[in-house]
Amino acid sequence: MIERQLRLTGIVTGSVFLAGMVLDIIIGIGREDSLQSLLTNLSIIGCAVVATLFFVSARWPKLFWIQPVVYLLLTPIPLLQMPVAFYGLGFFVCAMAILFRMGFFEKYRIVRLACCLAYLLSIEVAAIFTAKNTMMDAISAIFFILAFLMFFYLMFQDKLMVFLSEPKQKLSLYAKGLSDTESDYIIAIISGKSVKETAFDAGVSESTVRNMLARSYTKLGVTNRSELFALAEKHDIVR
C-alpha cells in the first residue's frame, strides 16, 4: 500500500513540475524569448530536474527517499524570497507527510521531529536577512508557525503523546506457548472485558476461563490480572 502511494506521489508530482516547465516555455514563447534564453532559464531547468527526480523515484522503491529530500530542498526557495509563501510551507508539509509514510519517525521521533522543525524555523530566520520583504514579515511567519504548532498540540495532545512515544516491543502469545483459545482469553481481558463477559462470549463457564487464564499467566510470567495489564503497557501483545 505504502509503495503504491509513493509511486503515485512520484508520478503525480513529477507530472506537476513537468507541466510547470511546459507552462514556463509557453509563456517564454509568448514573450518572444530566444531559444537560448529558454534553455538557460533557471525556472525551466529547475522544473525539468525536479520532474526527472520524482519520475525516477517512482520507478525504483529504493529511491523513494528522493521525494522527501527534494521537497525539503525546495522549501527554502520560496520562503527566502517571501517568508509567508504558502507553497514553501506546502513543500515542507509534503516532505513531512512522505517521511511519516516511509516510517522515518518510527524511531527517535522527538529528536527527528525537532530537527525538521528546527530546519523550517532556521529558513525563516535566514529569511529575515535575505528576503526582499521587511523583517516583520519573517518574524510574523515564525510567530504564526509556532502559534499553529501550539494550536495542534492543544487540539491533539493525547494523540500526539501516543505518537511521540517510542513504539512498544511486540510480544507474541504464540511464541510464549499459548494456544489459540488461551490467546483469545488474554486478548479479551487486555481489551477490558471481565471474566464473566469473556466466558459468555466464548460460551463456556467462568471457571473454564479462569483456569485457562491461570495457565496463560504462568506462560507469560505474570501472576494476576494487574501484572498482565502492566505487561500490556510495556509491550504490543499479538497472537
pLDDT in tens, 80-134: 776 666 667 778 888 888 888 787 877 777 788 888 888 888 887 777 777 655 5
CATH number at 169-238 = 1.10.10.10
Please choose, from the candidates 63, 123, 122, the residue with its C-alpha nearest in 3D space to the C-alpha of residue 98.
Answer: 63
The reported pLDDT for the residue numbered 83 is 61
185 class by beta-carbon count within 10 Å (0-12 exposed, 13-18 middle, 19+ buried)? buried
Per-residue pLDDT band for 168 (boundaries 50, 70, 90) equals low
* Average predicted confidence (pLDDT) for the chain: 79
Do the Cβ atoms of 13 and 67 come closer than 8 Å? Answer: yes
The reported pLDDT for the residue numbered 106 is 73
The three-state secondary structure class of 193 is coil
State pLDDT tens for residues 8-67: 888 888 888 888 888 888 887 877 777 777 778 888 888 889 889 999 988 888 888 888
Task: State percent of the chain over pLDDT 70.
Answer: 80
Per-residue pLDDT band for 212 (boundaries 50, 70, 90) equals confident
Distance CA 219, CA 203 (A): 24
**pTM of the full structure:** 0.56
The reported pLDDT for the residue numbered 134 is 57
Per-residue pLDDT band for 172 (boundaries 50, 70, 90) equals confident
Per-residue pLDDT band for 238 (boundaries 50, 70, 90) equals confident
Instruction: Extract the C-alpha cell encoding 159.
Output: 494523540
Kindly state the average pLDDT of the residues 149-154: 60
Contacts of 62 by beta carbon, 8 Å cutoff, 6+ apart: none
